[in-house]
Amino acid sequence: MIRSATVNDIPEIRTMIRELAAYERAVEQARATEEQLREALFGAHPAAFALVAEDDETGEAAGYALWFPRFSTWTGTRGMHLEDLYVRPGARGGGHGRALLASLAALCRRHGYDRFEWWVLDWNEPAIGFYKSLGAELLDEWKVCRLSGGPLEELAAQAPASDV
């Protein structure tokens, strides 16, 4: 069963975020609090949206997907960015990941989104193989750029006076 997340799912989503971060060898970077997630997903101006995969037999959360809209200047249309896709180890192979992705693809079509994009770590061969089996194109020529911490602060300090 795939369903939209509710505010009652926040503690379980946070737990799964930390499980995903541990799998990706970066648990210390998963600092989001339940309060931050509640505001991001269910506040007055949601920053993101989430789906939950439930085990059909137990009703327990088997995984989740967290996404947000994006915009392409090239196509002039919105798209979807999948921030997290996670299926708990004991539930893998049960179709939950495919069901989450299919549900997101259906949301893309329903909203008229032309693109559905996400990142995958280059060492995560099981995920890469799974995504390729769905027909996903891996864009090797694009590199993710990130500013955070000190470098972000330093660049921000160089901003000219403006009304933004």
Known catalytic residues?
131
Residue by residue, DSSP assigns 108-159 as HHHHT--EEEE---TT-HHHHHHHHHTTPPP-TT-------HHHHHHHHHTP
CA dihedral over 34, 36, 39, 45, signed as positive or negative: negative
Full strand arrangement of the beta sheet holding 61-72: 2-4, 49-54, 61-72, 77-87, 115-118
**Token code pair at residue 143:** 């590199």
Residue by residue, DSSP assigns 90-110 as GGTTSSHHHHHHHHHHHHHHH
